[in-house]
Every structure is written in structure tokens, then in C-alpha cells.
Amino acid sequence: MDHSERGKKTKKKDNGNESINKLKRAFAYNLFYKQGKTIRSATLNDYYLAVAQTVRDRMQHLFINSIEALSEKESKVVCYLSAEFLMGPHLGNNLINLGLYDDVARATREAGLDLREILNHEEEPGLGNGGLGRLAACYLDSLATLQIPAIGYGLRYEFGMFDQEIEDGWQKEISDRWLRPGNPWEIKKLDLNCEVGFGGHTETYNDENGRQRVRWIPGRAVIGIPYDTPVPGYKVNTVNCLRLWSSEAPKSFDFEDFNVGDYFGAVEEKIAAENITKVLYPNDERFKGKRLRLAQQYFFVSCSLQDMIRTHLLNNDRLDNFYDYFQAQLNDTHPAVAVPELMRLLVDLYHYDWDSAWDITCKTLCYTNHTLLPEAMEKWQLDLFKNLLPRHLEIIFEINYHLLEAVKAKYPGDDSRVERMSIIDESDNRYIRMVNLACFGSKAINGVAAMHTDLLRRHTLKDFNQMYPGKIHNVTNGVTPRRWIALSNPRLTRLLKEAIGENWITHLDDLKKIEKFADDAAFKEAWRKVKEDNKKDVTGQAFQKNGIGIDPEAMFDVQVKRIHEYKRQHLNLLHIITLYNRIKANPNTDITPRVFVFGGKAAPSYFMAKRIIKLINSVAEVVNNDPDVQGRLKIFFVPNYNVKIGHIVYPMADLSEQISLAGMEASGTGNMKFSMNGALTIGTLDGANVEIRNEVGAENFFLFGMDEKSVHEKKIAGYRPEEYYKNNDELRGVIDRLKSGHFAHGDRELFKPIVDSLLYDDRYLCCADYQDYVECQARVSRTFEDKDLWTRMSILNVARMGKFSSDRSVSDYCQKIWNVKPFPVKLKWQRVPEGGIVFPRPIK
Ligand code: F58
């Protein structure tokens, strides 16, 4: 019996009153006994914690059963190794997945609390930069929902992604102290700690059988303490585990060093150990070559592999069949040090011979690539690496020797191929190429959208693809409909449930059933009302604070994502300024009213990205206040774009801007979230846009811009952005407006770097795509004027989004890569009975 059925049974008996009363009692109990508060002293945070603890307690037995099932022999476990998990707030999602939302809403209401206020209060764990971290979170949700035993392994950063404030139009970074209000979801598992070594040296010795072996004598050790967070599947018994490691010093700092008088030396060691999990590195130039970043990577990889091995050995004597029970997915190259670490554990600790260890390693690890940008490919300087992980460097050299022997055997005399495929980059400063390491040490490599995988096969990983045909797979990304529709868009959810039931929540292809309503006038009216009400919500709330009057009838044209030149937020601005110029030239010009919404963080040291944020805010200031515009154009920059803001932004959008230069965005996942919530896309043939367009139909997608092939050709032929400036009057008008200081209170210097980059560099071909973009936007406006047509297109977009559920992506991984099957959890441990339990063995 799954818990949704259990819920129904109780309800039949007492019409739900008993369970509601129990919930209310549990709130009061937790407030009193856990927070030590009464209603006289309780803060909103106390109430949040009391409600969260109540919900957590209701899945605890499922969590315990699921964790215990992991160590049983029968099931294969997927371990998702990721330096980032951008989980978003837990409470609402857990309520949805546990089927408790309505009951808890009623219980809180009856208890005099406002569930929305409580949900809103939750501080989200921002343990990720963007797409890659959020993808990991969607995949955990789907793994649990599909009842695949899985563990997400990562780092418990004390400070997550910085909070963004906007001050005078500029981004300001504020540290994210997400743990301060208390984290009711995690459980510290002190007994499962792991020791991780760093630095030191290696030595050889002969074992009892006279075999030569290597021993690593680390210079210092750090302890990893796991904190487990439950990840409940949707209405199933499976509650998987997100296990995040926190670093601590191995001993209390007041022992030896203190005794010899070196108090500060001892404290420093403690601080150094704790620093490892102190802060998430923002996706930034400054983390390049950072020793602490490598320490983070090795720390969580080593803890996680040790944890997997420990679990395996509970039921097995040896590790020969390790890969039959554990599949480890490397989320980008950040955990690629798993290749030499698993080899080290197998060879040095468990005394496997090299070939057997290599076989086990390669059958365990799988690698996902998330980028084609050459500058984003990880590489580590040899000296730095050796200093931190001397034994691993030796192992990497040995792995590389085997790789290069294989390359030479297959391609005799092809020296340049050997150079390209080598794990060691021999140019000036010698580097370890983590991509090559991950590719060689994994059983499978995958790209994250069809086009991206194709480019990996044909360009970035061409050599590996030729040498190991069939090793590179495609798994197009997906997002979870539980969070991205059921939780965040309750109005759309209600309408869909009324029309086609709720099977789509776990079988998103079912949305196809709404196609038949695409010409149903009443349904279309209801559809429009959903969007309109979602828009009214935000015009009433968030935007009001900024004093901008917003017309909910206007088109909400939204671009939310990390700020990066390749994503071309500045191309969006060129269009906005075009419309503005048209109004200035003729205030009566016919304009479809639009609200342009931007959101996203810039890496703290990314000069151009930060300047683009300032430009968005500066254009907003001028346009929003110009009387000629008469409110027809409004620009709004939502500060601190994160998962919580995503919940608001996707449901309210009419138009989704997916305008990266073709060939740059590996996949994108925001594009999917918008489309699922009824926004239409204006986009290039890039990443998953290509597949979204295929699914929804070319007639329901606003395509513009060069494709990847023409981009490539244009760059080869010699791209000259100034020519577009010279030949295109409107573009020249826009760039001249920028030059003039019009958006900078007359200061002609402030935006000169953006102007110069557009005119003389324009790496991402904004000028070349400008005209097509502006024309396409005019088509968007015309279509928007035809409400009936727009609504039809919107319905068809949602109807055809089935492919982009992360349930499909995870099923693809299960079949193509991990070879795992669902393993429903049998409940061996029930809730703690009222009379307590008898412990069958003495406590250790
Ligand atoms: C993103 N990468 C891709 N990296 O850009 C996006 O197209 C894709 O949809 C998504 O992965 C999921 O596959 C991404 O988010 C990072 O944030 C890195 C974090 C660590 C530093 C370097 C960037």
C-alpha cells in the first residue's frame, strides 16, 4: 500500500478530521518541544520550523525504509555525484510529493496560520550556480518518483550562491547564510563519517606476499560528516537521500599542538579543515586554478566513494561486482577525480591488480558534459595537483600511459592525435585535462541535448568518439513537472486536472490530451484566465515594491538565466531600445504593450555581465519614466533570481526569451519550464530549443537567427560587426543611442565597453542576428494581438511538452547508461508505535 492509499483509508473513516487534528497537534508539539516556544513568543520562523518538522516526521519512516533498502543486495543504486544541488525550497515540494498539501493547508488554516506565508518564509538552499545544479535537483526528484534507489552526493556549503541585491543599478553580492534560521530537513549522521587525506608523499613497500605496493602518507586529514536530506518521490514509498558532506578537523584543536604551546597553529589547522565546505564557488574566472576548489572536489568524491564501498561491503566480501550495485554519474568534470580515487582505493587499499581495478572503475563511472565553451573546460596545473594529491597524480600518469598506448596502437604515427587525447596538456604550464580523464575513465559519456551531443561527437570529443564509437550518448535534459507545474502553477494544475485528470503529473505525455481543447472556446477562456491571474498576482506583489505600474494585459516578455554574453541579454536590450527609438521618433507609433522582465546573477568578477545588468537597469530607468512611452514598455529587473523566484516567473510569462548564439547553449532547462507553463518561445536553433520546436511544431515557435553551421562559416569568413552598424539604420540608431550617454545621464563612458564589444568584437554575433530578431519580435507582437491564436499556440506548447519531463530523461539514463530498474520500497519499519519499541540489540 502506498501512502496516498493509506491517506484515503484514514479519510474514509473520519472525513479527514482525525488526520487534520493530528497535524495541528504536531504543529503545537513541535513549537513547544522543539522550538521551546509558545504562541506568545513564536516568530514566523518558529512556525515554519514547526510545520516543516511535522511534514518531515511524516516521511521519516519512508526515508528510513528507503535508506535501509539501499544496503540490501538486490538493488542497484544510482549515485549522482555533483558539486552542486540547487534544490529550491523543500516544504512545498514535499507537501506535493507526499500528497499532504491540502491537509496541511487546512490544518494550518485551522491553526490560524497562513501556509503561503510559511512557504514563502523558507530560505532556499542555494547550493548551485544555475542549470547544472538545478538539473541535479530535478533528477533526484524523478529518480525517487520512478522508485530508482539513488543517492545524491555533494557538498554541504555553509555559504551557498551569493544573494544579489541591486544598488544604483549595479549588482551587489551578499553572502548567503542559508543555515542561520535552522535547517529542519537534514539529519547529521556522525557515525558515517569518512577520513580524507591531503598532501604528503607516497612510498613503496612490499606486502606480505612480496608484491610491491604504494602507500600514500597524507600530510593532513580532514573528516567528512554526512548530512542527509530526504528526497521524496511523488506518491510512492521511495524517499531517496541527498547526502551532503561537511568538513571538520579530525581532532579537537586543543590536543598536541596546544600542549606544545602552538595554540594558533592548532586552531589554523581546524579552520583549514572547515574551510573546505565553507563556500560555493560562483561560476567565475577567479576559481580557475583555485586549490580550495580542487580540495572541495576531492573531498566530496573521496567521502562518497568510501561511503559506497562501505555500503557494498556490508553484503559482499569483495568489490569485484561493485558496478553491479553502484553506478556513479559524474555531473560535469567537477567530480572527475573519482577516476584516480576509485583506482587508488581499489589498488592501494583493497589490493586489486591494475587491470581489474580499471575494469571496475570504468564500469562504475559515467560522465555528463554540460558545456562546449572551451574556456569552461576544467584543467588543473600539475604542480598544484601534485601538491594536494600526489598519489592521484601518479595514478593519472599511469592511466595516461595506458590511454596513449591504446591511441598509438590504433593510430600509429598520429602524433597530433596523441597530443590531443592525452590527459596531460604539455603546453607551457603542464595541466591535467579533466574532460579527457572523465572520458577515458567512464563507461559512458553523454551530452544534454541532441544538438549538443552531436557537436560533442563531431568537434569537442571527436577523437574519443572515433576511438570508442558508441560511447557518447545523448540524454536530453528534462525538468520535474511536480515542482515546475504542480507546485508553482496551482491555477494551471487545477485546470489541467479538471480537463484531463492528474496522470500527467507522473506521465507528462498525457498532456497531449489537452490538444483536443485547443479550439474549445470555454477551455481557451479558462486558459487565458489562468495566465491573466498569474500575471495579476505579480503585478500586485513583487513589482509593486518598485513602484512601476504594470498592465497585466501587456505581453510579459521574460529572460531569466545567468547573465552571460553568449546568452545575449544585450541582444534583448537592442530590441527594447529599437522599440524605444521608434516611439521617440513617432510617439503615436503602433506598439504592442510589453513588460520586459530580466533576472539573473553575474559572476562577481565577470566585468561585461555586470555591466549588462547595469545597462538593463539604466534603460529601465529611462524607458519606464519617459512620458512619450506612456507605459507601453516597462522594464523590470527581478533581483536575486533563484528557484523561488522561478516559481513566480515561469507561470506569469507570455514570451520566453531563449536567444543564445546557436552552438553555445548546451541545452537550457528554463526554456522547458516556460513552455510547460504556457509561454511561447522566441529562440534560436540552439541546445534543447531545437527539440522543443520539433515537439511543439515550427508554427508554434518563433524562430530567428543563424544556425550553428552559418555561425561557424561566418566566423571563418571573417565577421565584421561594424558593417551591420553601417548598413542597418535602426541598429545604428540603437547603438548611437547607447553611445550618446542617453541611458547614463549623459555619461558616454559608462556603456562604452558594451558598445565597443558590439562594434569591434561581438563574439556572440548580436549584430548579425539583430535584424532577424527584431523582425521575429514583430511577428510575436502581431500574434499576441490575436488572442485566440496565441491561446491556441500556448495550449499546444503545453500539450506537447511531455518529452521534457525529467522522468523521461532519468528513464533514458536508466536504459541507455545505468541499466537499472525501479525497486519499490517495502515497508519493513513502520512508524514508531505509541508504546515505543524494543531494541533487538544493545546500542553500541
Ligand atoms: C548548464 N551549465 C548549461 N554550468 O549551460 C545549460 O545549457 C544546461 O542546460 C545545464 O547546464 C544543464 O545541463 C551549467 O549550469 C555551471 O553552472 C557550471 C558550474 C560550475 C562552474 C562552471 C559553470
Q: Give pLDDT tens digits for 289-304.
A: 699 999 999 999 999 9
Residue (of 30, 146, 140) closest to 88 by Cα position: 140
Q: Quick one: cell of 699?
A: 508554427
For 14-39, the DSSP string reads: HTTHHHHHHHHHHHHHIIIIIS---T
Question: pLDDT band at residue 269, thresholds of 50, 70 and 90?
Answer: confident
Return the pLDDT at 774. 98
Q: What is the β-pairing status of strands 326-331 and 365-368? A: parallel
Cell of 72: 540490501
Residues 283-342: tens digit of each pLDDT: 877 667 699 999 999 999 999 999 999 999 999 999 999 999 999 999 999 999 999 999
Q: Are 762 and 685 in contact (CB under 8 A)?
A: no
pLDDT in tens, 774-831: 999 999 999 999 999 999 999 999 999 999 999 999 999 999 999 999 999 998 877 7
End-to-end distance of the chain based on CA atoms, in angstroms?
A: 34
pLDDT tens digits along 368-414: 999 998 888 999 999 999 999 999 999 999 999 999 999 999 999 99
473 is catalytic: no
Ligand 1: does its nearest atom lie under 6 Å from the Cβ of 663? no
Q: Which of 58, 561, 632, 737 is catalytic?
A: 561
Q: Could you identify the atom of ligand 1 that is nearest to the CA of residue 83? A: 20
What per-residue confidence (pLDDT) applies to 428? 76
Q: Mind listing the pLDDT tens digit for each residue in 3-35?
A: 444 444 444 556 778 899 999 999 999 999 999
Give the Å distances, CA to CA, from 692 to 34, 250, 361, 667, 671: 48, 50, 36, 10, 8
* Whole-number pLDDT of residue 267: 82
Is pLDDT at 626 greater than 80 in this prediction? yes
**Residue with more model confidence, 264 or 608:** 608
Query: Among this protein's residues, is 536 annotated catalytic?
Result: no
Residue nearest to atom 9 of ligand 1 (CA): 668
Does ligand 1 lie within 6 Å of residue 131's CB atom? yes
Q: What is the mean pLDDT of residues 78-98?
A: 98
Decide: 612 and 602 in contact? Cβ < 8 Å.
Answer: yes
pLDDT tens string 54-77: 999 999 999 999 999 988 767 899
Residue 361 pLDDT > 50, yes or no? Answer: yes
Q: Is the CB of 129 under 6 A from ligand 1?
A: yes
C-beta of 477 in contact with ligand 1 (< 6 A): yes
Residue 591: CB partners within 8 Å, gap ≥ 6? 579, 582, 583, 632, 633, 781
56 classed as catalytic: no
The one-character DSSP state at 414 is -
